[in-house]
Amino acid sequence: MRPGPLLYFDGHATTPCDPRVVAAMLPYFTERFGNASSAQHPFGWAAREAVEHARGQVAALIGARLRDVVFTSGATESNNLAIAGAVRALRSRGRHVVTVATEHTAVLDVCAALEADGAIEVTRLGVDAGGLVDPAAVQAALRDDTVLVSVMAANNEIGVLQPLVEIGALVRARGAAFHVDAAQAAGKVAVDVEAIAADLLSISAHKFYGPKGAGALYVRRRGPAADLPPLHHGGGHERGLRSGTLNVPGIVGCGAAAEIARASMAGDAATLGALRDRLLDGLQARVDGVHLNGARAPRLPHNLNVRVDRVNGRELLIGLSDLSLSSGAACCTASAEPSHVLKALGLSDDAARASLRFGLIRGTTAADVDTVIDAVAGVVAALRR
């Protein structure tokens, strides 16, 4: 078996489960193993109580009402439930959907599938050189038959934060539903569903130091998506929106991670932002031709995405194989195609492939950053020779 990586800088793909989260989850595997739907005995009552407590913790993280939080397996399922469900719920009003070219594939692919079936017509907006969508472009794309607008909070590759307050106000004024994929933002930067006028919002626990396989969808019960239908049936769990036996340990972990993130967010952001800047400054000081991909601000504090001139991207990653980092989204690394996000910024195929995405995590140190700078500088120098 190959030894573990020297350093972990792939915090967008996933984060390590916080030991406090693991401790909160453990009793629900063994001692409190009841089914949350078992209403006739204490084992079920304890499980149900734990789920509702976690629902409150997640709601507090995103400024939501407790009853508007629906637990899922993560943001991919939440995105599918939100988009496909909203299209079905609102089809009597229209069939036009607006999204952005740099969205995660969990949004773009479901839109493409619905479009291929003839269920919707999709407008995909471009972004500027910094990766940001112009609210004026959103406003211009809105039509009388627009039923849904889907814009991510933070890009999973270049980390830029979209202007959701402005976009949400425009969408609400037109009476359409506003969906936000907040998988990368929740727990890292402040997300408030009221401030951004979100009707639907998706999160994944494993992006903010919780367990994999647990997440949530916020569904505003007083908006256009209030009558969201389920994607599958059988049991009526989660207020009829997500049937299936609840993953109680995962939900408990999701809630615990949300509470920890809410308390530590400001401190984490300051620490990781300073380290991220140290990494960028160090790379640019040591290596000629290092360029930032995406706007420097507003940006996730732990994200850095850079391209390196005059190197082969594949050879660069191979040379850095002792470091855990990537060239883009984990869900797309098997593809030979360059990142659709970086291409949307106007980068050539070669420049997109010669880009590195760094995702810092809690516990990353200045020494770790300096080690990465040394490693990149050494590999680039060797490749150029």
- Residues known to be catalytic: 331
| Strands, E assignment, the chain | 7-8, 69-72, 96-100, 121-125, 146-150, 177-181, 200-204, 215-219, 290-292, 303-308, 323-324, 355-359
The contacts of residue 136 (CB under 8 Å, 6+ apart) are: none
Of 72, 81, 80, the C-alpha closest to 214 is 72
CA–CA gap between residue 58 and residue 216 (Å, rounded): 8
Cα within 13 Å of Cα(104), Cβ side = 30
Beta bridge partners of 219: 200
CA–CA gap between residue 148 and residue 135 (Å, rounded): 15
User: Helix, strand, coil % (nearest 5) of the chain?
Assistant: 40, 15, 45
Cα within 13 Å of Cα(308), Cβ side = 28
CA–CA gap between residue 200 and residue 149 (Å, rounded): 10
Handedness of CA 294, 295, 300, 305 (dihedral sign): positive
The contacts of residue 366 (CB under 8 Å, 6+ apart) are: 275, 278
Of 183, 174, 179, 203, the C-alpha closest to 70 is 203
Q: Which two tokens stand for residue 25?
A: 């989850």
Torsion of CA 149, 169, 151, 181, to 10 degrees: -110
CA–CA gap between residue 97 and residue 40 (Å, rounded): 44
